[in-house]
Structure formats: C-alpha cells, structure tokens
Amino acid sequence: MISHILRDARKYEETMEKQIGKEARPEFHLSARIGWMNDPNGFSFYNGKYHMFYQYHPYDCQWGPMHWGHAVSEDLLHWEYLPVALAPDELYDMDGCFSGSAITLPDGRQLLMYTGMVKERQNVKVAESRDIQTQCLAVGDGIDFEKYKDNPILEEKDLPKGSSKYDFRDPKMWQKKDGSYCCVVGSRPEDGSGQILLYTSTDGFQWNFKSILIKNNNRFGKMWECPDFFQLDGKWVLLTSPQDMLPQGFEYHNGNGTLCMIGDFDEKAGTFQEQYNQSIDYGIDFYAPQTVYTPDGRRVMIGWMQNWDTCGQRTRNVLWFGQMSLPRELSIRNNRLYQLPIRELEAYRFHKVGYQNITFSEVIELEGIKGRRVDIELTVRPADEQNIYHKFAFRFAQNEKYQTSLSFRPREAILKIDRKHSGSRRAIIHQRRSKVNSEDGKLKLRIILDRFSVEVFVNDGEQVMSAILYTEQSADGISFFADGTVNMDIVKYDLIM
C-alpha cells in the first residue's frame, strides 16, 4: 500500500517532467526530475545498476518537505528516472525524509536508512520550533519501499550524553567483511560544534551506539552534515560537510564547506585518528558528497553541485533546480584526496582537436576549440623560463555578452574561477581563488563543461573546482589570454552522450 502523499508525488513528477525538454537539462549530470534537488542519497550498486536517490521537493524549485527522488544508471552518466522512493508520510518523518544511504541485504532486498524529521510542535511557538531528527529504515526492491514497522530505529535515547536531538542526521551505512553493518551519523555535541557517531548492527535492523568516531571540537565549522567513511588506498577517509565554516588560508572558503580527513581507524575502539585534512572541492558549488564502491573496485563520489550559500542565484520560476556533480574516482596520493572524472566518460569523447606548443602573449582563439559540452585537457608553461608570464586565462561560455574565466597567476600559484558574467539572477558568489601546486609556471588542467556547469580538475586530480553556470547555450566561445608569454598544449573533445 502506498500513501496518497507518495502517490500524488509520483503522479505529479510523471506529468510535470514532460514540460522539460532535453536541452533544458544537463546532458550527463543528474538533475532534479522536477522541482528541487539537494544532497545525493543512497548512492549504491543494486541489481546490476547504480542507484542514486536525492533530497527532493517535486512541487517547487525551492527546498520544502523532503522526499527521496530516484534514478538509476549503468554507466553513471546516462540516468533513468524512477518514481519517488520516499515521501514524508509517517508521524516520525512527516516534515521530511532527510538524507541517508542504501545497502543490499543478504536476501536481496534494498535497505534504506534516512533521517526522519518532525518539527517540534508542543509547547513551542511556531517561530521557535525546531526539527527533531531520528533515523528510520525502509526496505524495498529497488523501486517500491516499505517503511519499517519499528521506526524510528535510532532516536534521542541512542545518543551519547549531551548530544542534541535536533541535529542528528544523514546516516551512511556500509557492510563489513564479516557481514555485520556499521553506520556513521552527523551529530551536535554540547560544545555546539559537530561530531560523527558510529553505530553497529548485525542484521541492518537493530542498531546500537558504538562510539563517537571523531569530534569536531569547533575546529572545522559547526555541525557536521552528511558523513561518509571508507577505506581507500590503505587509509581511512572521512568526508563530511560542515556548516558555518570559516576560511583557513586558501582552504574552506565555502561557508557550508566540504571537509576530507585522511587517517587511521581503530575499529575496536571505534575511533578515527585524523592525520591530514583538506577541502573536497575548491570551487563554488559542491556539497554533501556521497560515495559508492563499484563492482570493479573503484571508490566513486558524487556531490550536490550546488551550495546552500549560492542556491539563491537562479531565477525563481524554473521547472528544475539542482544537479549532481560528475562522478569522480577517488584515490590517495601524497596524503591527499585525488579525484578524476570517471573513466566511463572517455567513451563519449568525440571530434578530437589538438594543438601542441602554441605560444602566445595576447588573446587568441583556436580553430575547432569551442563548445559547451566538452572535455578539455591543457598544460601551460612559460615560453621563456627566465621570464615567467604574469597571467594565463582560459575563457569559456563566451560571446559578446557573457564569459566565464579561469585565470592563473603563476607567481602566486593562484587559480581563480570567475563566473560573474554567466547569466545568474544576481552576482551572489561568483569568484573563488585557490592555491594550486605549480612549479616554474607549469599547470595542468582538465576542464569538463556540461550545459550548466564547469568542473576543473587541477594537476591530475590533486584539486577540483566546480561551479554551475546559466549562460545561454549559444555562448560557446573559448579563448585564451596571456600577460607575458605562455606556451600551451591543448586537446578538446566534444562530449556526446
């Protein structure tokens, strides 16, 4: 039996999506079927397909009572929408089914764990009401899900002393080699900052508090949202999205930021010892990433290619809002998280145009290099090593009216993205600078454009900068600029799905 709230949402999205033409969506980034999308949820491989659920408010292009949207894919680039998976239709989740994760049970069913949100209604003024958050389960066959009879399965009584029942969300489960399950959940301790809690289960249904995996101690923002915790290249990695972050040097400029910690996990004690930390993305629009372990042994991450600080920038009356990042293959090198576009993308690269050893010291365009759905690899270096150039710029999504640019100042090793002329409703946040590794003025970039986004992979994935743009599609020019003399190799492919 499905509830009328879920049935209505399913009917609504099926009818309304017809109004959105193919051209009005990204080509290979998953976007909201209709209405609003935020965090990726339940990213998993189930019955031969990748499943991606997402925070979803079908009825508006603004955040609202959260449902779980749903899509599947075989290559993580072509997505097929499935009906809404979860709707806020029970007493324990009536104000929203917040973020969570998915695993496969031994009997072949798919298990979802999500945060049920209910606004506190008793003895409080509406303006002061807060969200009570608990963890809930739903079991299904990859399309239809039944909420578990004993929901919520984790609530206030399962919290360590002093932790807030108002900030307890975003469970990410995984299965251990011995068949038992673990789960990390974001939480807020007494100090008002964040912490990650670890829970364990033998069957996926009965969960017990194990330990505080790690405490923020007010170092990186406040509340830690959307944790993910996994092994990678012999280390353990904690990804989380802290709210209210302040910049530290060139790290953590996003307000609602992203944090990657690399370290060791004491499984017995259930504690994580962090050794290195960094931003996950150094651009403008990226938040709440989640990973999946693929059947061929890759750890692949997708984030919400948007950020709470920037999501006001599109016109209000649109049919969809919110898209996911490109899936990225993760690895650890030099104690850092490296990200590369999934290799599946290479099958869709056509019309190769390349130039080697182009030297220039002004604005140039190159025959055959343009487009808004392209994969570009370029390397720049000084033409004269004794006389390093001052600035190199790559300008794209360009016509007489618009342009977005990536500019690089080798002397400071700063790479800047600037999308102030990219069709946004108003200039809210349109620039981000990042310190990059560059020796003697050399820099390597891979730039991936889809209709409404740019993702820049710096130095073979050492850093990534993501940003969305709404520049009209006819603005497809690309040009290059040098102050000083730059030498460049470049290859461009059209991405055709």
Indicate which residues carry an active-site annotation: 39
Taking CB under 6 A as the criterion, the residue among 89, 93, 158, 225 binding ligand FRU is: 225
Q: Which one of residues 101, 110, 115, 422 is an interface residue with ligand FRU (CB under 6 A)? A: 115
**Residue from 29, 51, 169, 430 in contact with ligand FRU (CB under 6 A):** 169
Give the nearest distance from C-beta 348 to ligand FRU in angstroms: 30
When binding is defined by CB under 6 A, the residue of 28, 31, 37, 38 that contacts ligand FRU is: 38
The reply to whether 131 sits near ligand FRU by the rule CB under 6 A is no
The site string for ligand FRU over 245-284 (x = CB under 6 A, - otherwise) reads: ----------------------------------------
170 binds ligand FRU (CB under 6 A): yes
Edge-to-edge order in the sheet of strand 391-398: 363-364, 477-483, 391-398, 403-409, 414-421, 431-435
Q: How far is the CB of 92 from ligand FRU (least distance, A)?
A: 15
Does position 39 interact with ligand FRU (CB under 6 A)? The reply is yes
Please provide the distance, in angstroms rounded to a whole number, between the alpha carbons at the two ends of the chain.
Answer: 38
Q: State in angstroms the smallest separation of the CB of 102 from ligand FRU.
A: 15
Which residue number has the CB closest to ligand FRU? 98
| Using rule CB under 6 A, residue 201 touches ligand FRU | no
- With beta carbons less than 8 A apart as the criterion, state whether 495 and 374 touch: yes
* Complex with ligand FRU: residue 230 or 286, whichever CB lies closer: 286
SS (H, E, C) the chain: CCCHHHHHHHHHHHHHHHHCCHHHCCCCCCECCCEEEEEEEEEEEECCEEEEEEEEECCCCCCCCEEEEEEEECCCCCEEEEEEEECCCCCCCCCEEEEEEEEECCCCCEEEEEEEEEECCCCCCHHHCCEEEEEEEEEECCCCEEECCCCCCECHHHCCCCCCCCCEEEEEEEECCCCCEEEEEEECCCCCCCEEEEEEECCCCCCEEEEEEEECCCCCCCCEEEEEEEEECCEEEEEEEECCCCCECCECCCCCCCEEEEEEEECCCCEEEEEEEECCCCCCCCEEEEEEECCCCCEEEEEECCCCCCCCCCCCCCCEECEECCCEEEEEECCEEEEEECHHHHHHEEEEEEEEEEEECCEECCCCCCCCCEEEEEEEEECCCCCCCCEEEEEEEECCCCEEEEEEECCCCEEEEEEEECCCCCCCCCEEEEECCCCCCCEEEEEEEECCEEEEEECCCCEEEEEECCCCCCCCEEEEEEECCEEEEEEEEEECC
Residue whose CB is less far from ligand FRU, 70 or 169? 169
User: How many Å apart are CA 176 and CA 197, to the nearest integer?
Assistant: 17
| 131 versus 455: smaller Cβ distance to ligand FRU | 131
Q: Does 135 bind ligand FRU (CB under 6 A)?
A: no
Query: Please, what is the minimum distance in Å from the beta carbon of residue 287 to ligand FRU?
Result: 6
Of 241 and 404, CB closest to ligand FRU: 241
CB of 66 to ligand FRU, least distance (A): 5
Give dist(CA 458, CA 466) in Å, integer. Answer: 11
- CA atoms within a 13 Å half-sphere pointing along the CA-CB vector of 245: 27
Nearer to ligand FRU, 302 or 495 (CB): 302
Residue selected from 288, 415, 467, 475 as contacting ligand FRU according to rule CB under 6 A? 288
Shortest reach from residue 61's CB to ligand FRU, in Å: 14
Q: Which of residues 90-109 bind ligand FRU (CB under 6 A)?
A: 98-99
CB closer to ligand FRU out of 34 and 376: 34
Task: Restricting to residues 64-93, name those near ligand FRU by CB under 6 A.
Answer: 66
* One residue of 9, 31, 46, 55 binding ligand FRU per CB under 6 A: 55
- Report the nearest approach of ligand FRU to the CB of residue 335 (Å): 27
Kindly list the distances between the CA atom of residue 105 and the CA atoms of 76, 124, 295, 355, in Å, as whole numbers in the listed order.
23, 41, 16, 51
Q: Minimum distance between the CB of residue 469 and ligand FRU, rounded to whole angstroms?
A: 21
State the number of binding residues for ligand FRU (CB under 6 A): 13
β-pair partners for 414: 409, 435
Nearer to ligand FRU, 42 or 477 (CB): 42
CA 181 to chain centre: 24
Which tokens belong to 333?
């090198």
Q: Does 392 bind ligand FRU (CB under 6 A)?
A: no
Q: Is residue 325 a contact partner of residue 29, using CB atoms and an 8 Å limit? A: yes
The residue among 227 and 441 lying less far from ligand FRU, judged by its C-beta, is 227
Which CB, 98 or 402, lies closer to ligand FRU? 98
Q: Which is nearer to ligand FRU, 110 or 115 (CB)?
A: 115
- In whole angstroms, the minimum distance from the beta carbon of 118 to ligand FRU comes to 13
Among 226, 261, 380, 449, binds ligand FRU (CB under 6 A): 226
Shortest Å, Cβ 151 to ligand FRU? 16
Q: Which residues form the interface with ligand FRU (CB under 6 A)? A: 38-39, 55, 66, 98-99, 115, 169-170, 225-226, 287-288
